[in-house]
Amino acid sequence: MPHAVVTLLQDAIGASVSTAPAELEAVREDRSGWRSATPPIAVVHAASVAEVQAVMRIAHETSTPVVPRGAGTGLAGGAIASPGAIVLDLSRMNRVLEVSEADELAVVEPGVLNGDLNDALASRGLWFAPDPASRAISSIGGNIATNAGGLLCAKYGVTREAVLGLAVVLADGRLLRMGHRTVKGVTGYDLTALFTGSEGTLGVIVEATVRLRPITPGETVTVAAVLPDVEAAAAAAAAVTAARLRPAVLELIDAAGLARVAAYLGADGVAGTPLETLAPSETFLLAQCDGAGAAEEAAEVARLFAESGARVTLSTDAATGERLLGIRRAMHPALAASGQVLIEDVAVPRSRLPEMFRAIEEIGRRHGIEIPTIAHAGDGNLHPNFVFTGDEVPEHVWAAADDMFRTAVALGGTLTGEHGVGVLKRRWLADELGDDSFELQRGIKALFDPSGILNPGVMFEAPVSSDASEAPAR
Amino acid sequence: MPHAVVTLLQDAIGASVSTAPAELEAVREDRSGWRSATPPIAVVHAASVAEVQAVMRIAHETSTPVVPRGAGTGLAGGAIASPGAIVLDLSRMNRVLEVSEADELAVVEPGVLNGDLNDALASRGLWFAPDPASRAISSIGGNIATNAGGLLCAKYGVTREAVLGLAVVLADGRLLRMGHRTVKGVTGYDLTALFTGSEGTLGVIVEATVRLRPITPGETVTVAAVLPDVEAAAAAAAAVTAARLRPAVLELIDAAGLARVAAYLGADGVAGTPLETLAPSETFLLAQCDGAGAAEEAAEVARLFAESGARVTLSTDAATGERLLGIRRAMHPALAASGQVLIEDVAVPRSRLPEMFRAIEEIGRRHGIEIPTIAHAGDGNLHPNFVFTGDEVPEHVWAAADDMFRTAVALGGTLTGEHGVGVLKRRWLADELGDDSFELQRGIKALFDPSGILNPGVMFEAPVSSDASEAPAR
């Protein structure tokens, strides 16, 4: 006999409701490797704002938890089935509703994939700048819910800077519009910014008005370099900033990561690149410069890299540039080839990057594990990776992650630069925020979601957790 | 006999408390022309975070309203004495506490003037991008409290994009830190963005960590043009956007405004500029291009202006560029020379600029007044100006302003692009936001300021208004 709430859903929007076991199983995970203790009671593949409102009205009346979910590519367990929940899948709401060239904006449904929007915009000479590495598979609703970052943030900003307005379904089913179709607008508090990065805990994003940019003119110039060690790489990255240069991309791979990438790509894969002759402690830096002054800027970047002892390749043709960027892109597949990967996401002020790299090595030694790390060196965001075998993150990996989060915060940084808190990191949230901020944030949550049905367990401990397999919540 | 609260203040931080009549008078106004009904009970010239905390603790215990005030240059009555209030003047807290070149950030006290910070940064090749026209006289705390805009927002963003973190004293005197020293950081809700633009209603900003940029390399190229009428000017501005060009500055002055500027500058002032031979309906466009491709971009802008029937001057030397920008800068002095000026601040999507200009003309005709208007054409933000004589804004001017706000909102715009709501525009706030958003915003206000002592009457009606001379509140 079906759950009473499922019957209500079926009566209201039957065709969009699924209880097929395979579908219920699929939404227990995202790409973090985290798995919820139980499947949801139903998955609703919402096709319209009205259907989202119908779901929230039923959830409100029956006090049923709702987990908004986009493409399921999250890395913090922010959109996985919580106990007794409806998973509200928004991936079918994937229409680009409007592109205004004159106002340089697009109005999109939340399920539009980041890459699909950019494909649709390219012929108009426009571009949606937020560029998470997952852009081919991640949805704009999810990008906004996590305030996604990516490779281009030091130059082009985080997702928040590209969101002009939102339409959101509130916990009780009301539709709320916020923000503007203009770059400026200061009427009242900035709810659009508040919802950006709120991880589905304040409302369900059903439409976004996003800011577009003219595609940066000219060719992109790529500079790839192998450096003697991680200190040299961090120093070279710092030298770029000190010279007031502003490459669009500046990525750093440490020695442990680079060795795995080189092994993964093989001799053919690295032929003709600076990885061809790789010594054990060597590290990798990749810069891409764009815009009218790209060639001069890239030449200067290459000179600074060389001064730090690098073997440098500078490429002005797109194909070689793509191949060099492919070295960075190979990092995750290279790690995934050897086990499960827990990708962490700390950020520190750029000036503290050398210390953070040293701390990561130290933490790895202390816990007897290798922690291959890639960093967006331009903005201080590091992804230390924990590779393990089996379904569960082992306790010593959590212990190492705990050390790492605390080190990042002690260095003036943050436990998550761009992936979000989700269920994975909520136990550290109050530590970073402090008690006063934590309580005010809970007050905001209670204001928008008084009965606590929106994504319970994400960011904050669920009011009553029956999810025994989850990590101990704070 | 002094007010009991004043005695408490004097006992706690005597040297910083003033009840001198001239000082109490001075803080009844900002630059909006609005004047509060009564002077405050005291002005506190806070010298430290501890003093701000002392003021808020006393205010909290005695339920005394507090009006945070920076340089007093606001244009919406957001920092003027409310009845029975302490005015908390932050202009003495004007130290630059830190500049980190490596992390491209500065930590500043709220009273630092925008222009002073940039003077201090110039020799390091760095720059704080938010650029309100008032930068020489406005404080960074005030820029943040209003999320100030300015001339460069289409290319360089609004103030929010440049604020990484804040320290705020809450209504009960607790000190709260929020945000990061990194560009990325998604731990919890974005309180930093929520406080940016909150107009002193949620807490008192006592420290800001702001993002710096490398000074844009190369020379700035200026293009000034006189066009046959406002439609031609709006079309030329739209053509710049359509060509995917992105000048740093794109300003438009309508015919009524330009005639006054030309008269104010006089024959000598306009000699050698496109204003030298000015016909009655003619309008003005000014673009400035910067960065590595500035010369090519400016040449293209000039070509597009000429296609719209403009007389164009293109200047690559800084002195001439400054002189041409001086035409735009002369707008406010030109108006102020003929009376009191109420500067309005609507914004519309760029594509609706021609309609908005037509509507302003129409509204002026209907109410029998001329409304000289200047627009940041790159971002759709218009400043229609109402010139009047006497101390009070006449009723027919408010009626015209009311028509204008409603028109801007109907065109998909907003009643304030960058000046804020203050006391001047709160009667229209709920109309633009809608009832649901308005109630949620009041909920946020109540969460941070449960007893309603922070800047009462700004944004929202004061709980009990005894300020009889104020415009009827909603």
| pLDDT (mean) for B364-372 | 96
CATH of A217-333, one of 2.40.160.10, 3.40.30.10, 3.30.70.3450, 3.40.50.410: 3.30.70.3450
The fold adopted by the segment(s) B4-89 is: 3.30.43
**Residues linked to residue A126 through DSSP beta bridges, in sequence order:** A214
| Set of chain B residues whose Cβ sits within 8 Å of the Cβ of A125 | 244
| Set of chain B residues whose Cβ sits within 8 Å of the Cβ of A146 | 186
| Owner of token pair 């002094």 | B2
Region B217-327: CATH code: 3.30.70.3450
pLDDT, residue A1, reads 67
Q: Nearest CB to B421: which of A187, A245, A433?
A: A187
Query: Measured between CA atoms, how close is B414 to chain A, in angstroms?
Result: 6
Q: Nearest CB to A186: which of B101, B181, B416?
A: B416
Both tokens of residue A242?
């000190």
pLDDT, residue B17, reads 98
CB contact at 8 A, B427 and B471: yes
| pLDDT (mean) for B241-253 | 95
Query: Measured between CA atoms, how close is B15 to chain A, in angstroms?
Result: 31
Task: Tell me whether residues B436 and A180 touch, CB distance under 8 A.
Answer: no
Tally A–B CB contacts below 8 A.
263
Q: How confident is the prediction for chain A on average, in pLDDT?
A: 94
Q: Nearest CB to B187: which of A202, A416, A447?
A: A416
Confidence grade of residue B473 (pLDDT, cut at 50, 70, 90): very low
A427 interfacial to chain B (CB closer than 8 Å): no
Query: Measured between CA atoms, how close is B464 to chain A, in angstroms?
Result: 21
Q: Nearest CB to A444: which of B180, B189, B413?
A: B189
Q: Nearest CB to B182: which of A347, A421, A437?
A: A347
| pLDDT (mean) for B351-364 | 96
pLDDT, residue A389, reads 87
CB contact at 8 A, A110 and A95: no
Query: Measured between CA atoms, how close is B175 to chain A, in angstroms?
Result: 9
B191 interfacial to chain A (CB closer than 8 Å): yes
Q: Nearest CB to B187: which of A103, A161, A414?
A: A414
Task: Tell me whether residues B440 and A447 touch, CB distance under 8 A.
Answer: yes
| Set of chain A residues whose Cβ sits within 8 Å of the Cβ of B147 | 186, 190
Nearest to A239 by CA among A149, A296, A310, A292: A310
Q: Nearest CB to B437: which of A191, A415, A416?
A: A191
pLDDT, residue A272, reads 87
A198 interfacial to chain B (CB closer than 8 Å): yes
Residue A395 makes CB contacts below 8 A (sequence gap 6+) with none
| pLDDT (mean) for B80-96 | 97
pLDDT for B471 beyond 60: no
Q: In this predicted model, what pLDDT tens digit does every residue of B412-455 receive, in sequence order?
A: 999 999 999 999 999 999 999 999 999 999 999 999 999 999 99
**Cα-flanking dihedrals φ and ψ of residue A468, to 5°?**
-60, -25
CB atoms within 10 A of CB A298: 24
| pLDDT (mean) for A110-128 | 97
Sheet-wide strand order for B373-376: B311-315, B221-227, B283-289, B249-253, B373-376, B381-388, B340-343
CA A403 to chain centre: 22
Q: How confident is the prediction for chain B on average, in pLDDT?
A: 94
- Which of the residues B131, B163, B182 would you substitute to probe the A interface, choosing the one with the greatest number of A C-beta atoms within 10 Å? B182
Position A217: which residue type?
P
pLDDT, residue B1, reads 67
CB contact at 8 A, B232 and B309: yes
* In chain B, % of residues over pLDDT 70: 97
* In chain A, % of residues over pLDDT 90: 91
Position A200: which residue type?
G
Confidence grade of residue A392 (pLDDT, cut at 50, 70, 90): confident
A432 interfacial to chain B (CB closer than 8 Å): yes
pLDDT for A473 beyond 80: no
Query: Measured between CA atoms, how close is A271 to chain B, in angstroms?
Result: 35
| Set of chain B residues whose Cβ sits within 8 Å of the Cβ of A429 | 187-188
CB contact at 8 A, A297 and A314: no
| Set of chain B residues whose Cβ sits within 8 Å of the Cβ of A426 | none
Nearest to B413 by CA among A100, A182, A193, A106: A182
B238 interfacial to chain A (CB closer than 8 Å): yes
| Set of chain A residues whose Cβ sits within 8 Å of the Cβ of B197 | 186, 189-190
A154 interfacial to chain B (CB closer than 8 Å): yes
Task: Tell me whether residues B349 and A182 touch, CB distance under 8 A.
Answer: yes
Task: Tell me whether residues A181 and B412 touch, CB distance under 8 A.
Answer: yes
B380 to chain A: closest CA residue: A182
Query: Measured between CA atoms, how close is B263 to chain A, in angstroms?
Result: 31
Q: Where are the beta strands (DSSP E) in B11-63?
A: 17-18, 42-45
Query: Measured between CA atoms, how close is B427 to chain A, in angstroms?
Result: 12
Q: In this predicted model, what pLDDT tens digit does every residue of A6-63 receive, in sequence order?
A: 999 999 999 999 999 999 999 999 998 889 999 999 999 999 999 999 999 999 999 9
Query: Measured between CA atoms, how close is A473 to chain B, in angstroms?
Result: 16
Q: DSSP label at B162?
A: G
Intrachain domains B96-214 and B339-430 with the same fold: no
CATH of B96-214, one of 3.40.50.360, 3.30.465.10, 3.90.1570.10, 3.40.640.10: 3.30.465.10
B71 interfacial to chain A (CB closer than 8 Å): no
Phi-psi sector, B273: left (phi>0), alpha (psi -120 to 50), beta: beta
CB contact at 8 A, B461 and B474: yes
Q: In this predicted model, what pLDDT tens digit does every residue of B8-67 receive, in sequence order?
A: 999 999 999 999 999 999 999 999 888 999 999 999 999 999 999 999 999 999 999 999
SS3 for A295?
Answer: helix
pLDDT for A249 beyond 50: yes
pLDDT, residue B272, reads 87
| Set of chain A residues whose Cβ sits within 8 Å of the Cβ of B101 | 241-242
B317 by Cβ neighbours in 10 Å (0-12 / 13-18 / 19+) ranks as exposed
What's the complex ipTM? 0.95
pLDDT for B472 beyond 70: no
| Set of chain B residues whose Cβ sits within 8 Å of the Cβ of A198 | 189
Task: Tell me whether residues B191 and A153 touch, CB distance under 8 A.
Answer: no
Region A339-420: CATH code: 3.30.70.2740
Q: In this predicted model, what pLDDT tens digit does every residue of A45-55 receive, in sequence order?
A: 999 999 999 99
Interface of B with A in 384-423 (CB under 8 A): 412-421
Task: Tell me whether residues A437 and B176 touch, CB distance under 8 A.
Answer: yes
Both tokens of residue B372?
């000289």
Confidence grade of residue A467 (pLDDT, cut at 50, 70, 90): very low
Query: Measured between CA atoms, how close is B265 to chain A, in angstroms?
Result: 30
Region B339-430: CATH code: 3.30.70.2740
What are the structural domain ranges in chain A?
A: 96-214, 217-333, 339-420
